[in-house]
Amino acid sequence: MLNNTIWGNPIETWLIALGVSVGLLLAVKLIRDFLVRRFFRLDQSREDDINALIAAMVKSVSMPIVALLFLNIGAQGLDIPAKLSIWVSALAMIAVIIQIARWGNVLISFGFKRYQKKHALENGERITTLRALSFVGRTVLFTIAALLALDNVPGVKITTLVASLGIGGIAVAMALQNVLGDIFASLSILLDKPFVIGDFIIVEAHMGTVEYIGLKTTRIRSLSGEQLVFSNSDLLKSRVRNYKRMAERRVVFSIGVVYQTDYDTLKKIPGLIRQIIEDQEHVRFDRSHFQGYGEFSLNFETVYYVLSPDYNRYMDIQQAINLAIFRQFETLNIGFAYPTRTVFLTGGPGQDDDGTTQSGSIQLAYPANT
């Protein structure tokens, strides 16, 4: 029975080729698993992650791909039809291309994860840019691998296929115009970096911290806790205010004192406010002036800078300034103005006891909102 032939090859030869292929395949699997375990153990004693990379490269070796390679090697010693031999060689070459693409993907993932592990707390912009570049790198890698694999398929002309893909791509692009617009907007955000993950931004009436920048949407966690989802293309069309990029905060505030304040006291108020602000830490005084005459107050305008973008620090400083101004005004007996109106009432003609006629006036002051 072993002397019977199939395609001119004795069955015994077929069995020997099959046995050798299976034996080699099992040997490769055992070696692969052993190397993966060994290099993962060695990685625990080093900080450069090189052993982890080697282990990941070895682990990415696909056993079906190895089987196709051994099938091609075994077919070289057999007398098989020419068409079948061509297909076996083509499958082996495609398998090699796929395996190289798998290794390339492992390298890209390793580079991104290693950089993210070391620099995640230092610069969010670089992490965001690297994520975009890794996506572009994978896209280019798998596109080239697919084209090379198709080029090795017997009877497939890659030039004709590329031309057909170009025509079909135009139709698909027109049908998916909005989706592609969001994808290109995502790449623009990741490369131009108007904001990155972790930035606090305001978009029109919405505000929050950037949590995720995807291919189609960007997600922001608002101050009240809910998640806001923006289309990338719509986001780029909006006016975005990025408070994370703020180097310092300009603060303008006004106070009003009553009209009964005397001239010498009015002259002291700007210097008094300046001294209070300069006594605070992390601030830079700009100016303080008697701005003008209000409807019911003498107005003073003050400008200073908080040398930090932190909103809580700004509020602490402003609170300290307000309390200090209140104490100083209380000490100097300076009255804060509040909305008031003065009404003059004139009585009609009347007679005194001696018979003379006179008119009188009454002045009343009261809060404007009463």
The 3 state secondary structure assigned to 341-367 is EEEEEECCCEECCCCCEECCEEEEEEE
Longest dimension (CA), the chain: 157
DSSP state of 44: T
Q: Which residues contact 217 (CB under 8 A, 6 or more apart)?
A: 182, 229, 230, 231, 232
Confidence at residue 359, expressed as pLDDT on a 0 to 100 scale: 47
Instruction: Give the residue ranges of the chain where pLDDT is below 50.
Output: 357-364, 369-370
Report how far residue 73's alpha carbon sits from residue 85's, in angstroms, rounded to the nearest whole number: 11
Give the pLDDT score at 261.
92
| Predicted local confidence at residue 31, as pLDDT | 83
With contact defined as beta carbons under 8 Å apart, do 180 and 231 qualify? no
- Beta bridge partners of residue 245, listed in sequence order: none
pLDDT at 217: 84
The predicted structure's pLDDT at residue 175 = 57
Query: CA-CA distance, 297 to 339, in Å (whole number)?
Result: 8
What's the helix, strand, coil split of the chain in %, to 5?
55, 20, 25
- Residue 1, CA distances (Å) to 6, 8, 12, 84, 213 in order: 12, 14, 9, 25, 67
Nearest to 194 by CA among 250, 232, 139, 137: 232
The pLDDT value recorded for residue 231 is 87
pLDDT value of position 122:
53
pLDDT of residue 234: 85
For 196, other C-beta atoms within 10 Å of its C-beta total: 20
Contacts of 10 (CB under 8 A, 6+ apart): 2, 3, 4
pLDDT tens for residues 289-308? 999 999 889 999 999 999 98
